[in-house]
Amino acid sequence: MTGQTKCEQCPLRLHDVFLKVDDEQLGFIARFKTGELVVDPGATILLEENNSPHLYTILDGWAFRHKQLEDGRRQILNFALPGDLIGLQAAILSEMQHSVTALTRATLCVFQRDKIWTLFQEFPELSFSMTWLAAREEQMLDGHLLSLGQRTALERTAYYILHLYDRAAALGLAGNNALCAPFSKGHLAEAMGITAVHASRTIRKLHERALIRWTDDTIIILDRDRLQALASFESDPAMRRPMI
Amino acid sequence: MTGQTKCEQCPLRLHDVFLKVDDEQLGFIARFKTGELVVDPGATILLEENNSPHLYTILDGWAFRHKQLEDGRRQILNFALPGDLIGLQAAILSEMQHSVTALTRATLCVFQRDKIWTLFQEFPELSFSMTWLAAREEQMLDGHLLSLGQRTALERTAYYILHLYDRAAALGLAGNNALCAPFSKGHLAEAMGITAVHASRTIRKLHERALIRWTDDTIIILDRDRLQALASFESDPAMRRPMI
DNA sequence: CGGCTTGGTTAACTAATGTTAAGGCGGTTG
DNA sequence: CAACCGCCTTAACATTAGTTAACCAAGCCG
């Protein structure tokens, strides 16, 4: 492993949301990791159709997965935070049907896709973790699908803010009802499947109802109970999770 | 294995969309399978919150995954066809956040969730297959998310019909541009996140433009090219896939 | 047979969301 | 400093989709 951050001293892994791995697994991960990638905000990490030989774990920073129609309409599928695995579809299905773009300056651990088979053969725990991560992404997408299909723009906005707040908070990136948002309102609109104009109207409504305050790059949840009720949001039980 | 269909003589597995497995793996699958479940149309296979000890593969019939808001608004997340794995989220994350309901009379292979760990330890190929299936479901959800977020009701309808036609056709359940649809227009509406009334209007428009014909339970694609263009649908490359 | 339910259709009307356009504000750059 | 750009906001207006309600047809059941 050639990157600057040694897996054995990974600062992210110290966080207690992540399950501990034994030394043997950690050793494999260290060998699996072939480098580190640092990207600027807005940089493309993975491009649809463009079959990348890499698999990544976000070590630091935010990114987002997105997909577009021929005419340019774009949908943000999900945001990706530290600890999230990126490029699994390409690695497993050998076909990437979406792109990934960095939202902030981000650091990524780079894994060689062709070693993934060794992982499955020699490390059942890590194979399980990989499936776990895929199943969890699926679960998040299920939630977003419910949101896009059934919630109104107002409910959707409330839901999405809570969703992101909770994910960030689990990593210590948000707390005290304050989320330092690295994304623009336009990004949020794209994730919710509404126009930026309508997102603006909708966010204003949440302000007027004194549910949130969004100034500069910080979203403050003023009344979580009412926000949750509006969104009919159910927070995920706190749960430790694997990280590769 | 106690079910009526022996894995070694599984009729579904004969289909050439499915990758062949060696005898050792097949033997494990046979032991992993603890029974067979036959359900009537409309029967609940898995219920949200209700932590089931089972994992299923659809052997025959159609089902759908869905999720609802407190007030009853319901979203169909995806349809499930023969060969699809059901309940992976519950098995891996020990938490089911959606329900699964049979659309037709369906036969399911029942697997014991607690044996899944043995699978990961002893059968790397099958572990890989499990991740493959999870990644593929994720990919389909990505597609639906793009659809709900960005396509109009008309485009979405065109997209969804093509999506289901292709999935069914890969299994020999559709062909010659005819799909024998086991779902109602209302189901399709729920999958697309529009009301049944609006779905009716939308389907009528597709009729008027001579793109499809939907009589009784059969959807006929009259002009695939134009339908694809309308939806800006890109068909998936034909690909063999694993089945457990 | 007759009434009931389910799924579907249609129309008229209402509400939600998209579109277009104009302008503001902060940051950057020549 | 001025010009410009990205991001956001607002308003007026257009379009899409949701709601309600009436009606049909088919299947089912007492």
pLDDT at position B51 = 84
Interval A124-179: pLDDT, tens: 999 999 999 999 999 999 999 999 999 999 999 999 999 999 999 999 999 999 99
Nearest by CB to residue B193, choosing from A97, A141, A150, is A150
Q: Is the CB of A197 under 7 A from strand C?
A: yes
Q: Is the dihedral of CA A101, A106, A112, A115 positive or negative?
A: negative
CA distances from A97 to A27, A58, A166, B134, B212 (A): 32, 19, 27, 15, 27
**Pick from B231, A82, B243, A17: nearest CA to B221:** B231
Residues facing strand D, Cβ within 7 A: A 184-186, 196-197, 200-201, 203-204, 214; B 152-154, 193-195, 197-198, 202
A128 CB neighbours in chain B (<8 A) are: 92, 117, 120, 127
CB atoms within 10 A of CB B114: 10
B145 CB neighbours in chain A (<8 A) are: 67, 75, 77, 141, 144-145, 148
CA A192 distance to own-chain centroid: 15
Q: Which H or E run includes B181?
A: none
pLDDT at position B86 = 97
**Pick from A145, A182, A186: nearest CA to A164:** A182
Q: What is the pLDDT along chain B (244 residues), one digit of tens a residue?
A: 445 889 999 999 999 999 999 999 999 999 999 999 999 999 999 999 888 889 999 999 999 999 999 999 999 999 999 999 999 999 999 999 999 999 999 999 999 999 999 999 999 999 999 999 999 999 999 999 999 999 999 999 999 999 999 999 999 999 999 999 999 999 999 999 999 999 999 999 999 999 999 999 999 999 999 999 999 999 999 999 999 9
C-beta atoms of B70 and A232 within 8 A: yes
Q: Is the CB of B195 under 7 A from strand C?
A: no
Average pLDDT of the residues of chain A = 96
C-beta atoms of A120 and B117 within 8 A: no
Give the C-alpha separation, B219 to B181, whole Å: 6
For chain A, percent of residues with pLDDT exceeding 70: 99
Nearest by CB to residue B138, choosing from A71, A89, A237, is A89
User: Could you tell me the end-to-end alpha-carbon distance of chain A, in angstroms, rounded to an integer?
Assistant: 14
Nearest by CB to residue B193, choosing from A77, A88, A149, is A149
Give the C-alpha separation, B85 to B131, whole Å: 11
CA distances from A237 to A61, A170, A240, B94, B103 (A): 24, 11, 10, 11, 31
Give the C-alpha separation, A95 to B136, whole Å: 10
Collapsing DSSP to helix, strand or coil, B100 comes out as: strand
Q: What residues pair up with B78 in beta bridges, in sequence order? A: B65
Give the C-alpha separation, A130 to B128, whole Å: 9
Q: Is the CB of B193 under 7 A from strand C?
A: no
Alpha carbon of B18: minimum distance to chain A alpha carbons (Å)? 14
Protein-nucleic contacts, chain B 203-222 to strand C, CB < 7 Å = 203-204, 214
Q: Is the CB of B196 under 7 A from strand C?
A: yes
Give the C-alpha separation, A236 to A167, whole Å: 10
| Residue A60, C-beta contacts closer than 8 angstroms, at least 6 positions apart | A12, A82, A106, A107
CA of B201 to C1' of C10 (A): 9
Average pLDDT over residues A214-242: 96
Q: Is the CB of B229 under 7 A from strand C?
A: no
Q: Is the CB of B224 under 7 A from strand C?
A: no
Asked if B159 and B194 count as a contact pair (C-beta separation under 8 A), the reply is no
C-beta atoms of B93 and A150 within 8 A: no
Nearest by CB to residue A131, choosing from B69, B92, B232, is B92
C-beta atoms of A149 and B232 within 8 A: no
CA of B103 to C1' of D27 (A): 18
Choose from A115, A146, A239 for mutation: most chain B CBs within 10 A.
A146
Q: Is the CB of B191 under 7 A from strand C?
A: no
B135 CB neighbours in chain A (<8 A) are: 88-89, 92-93, 134
CA of B80 to C1' of D28 (A): 29
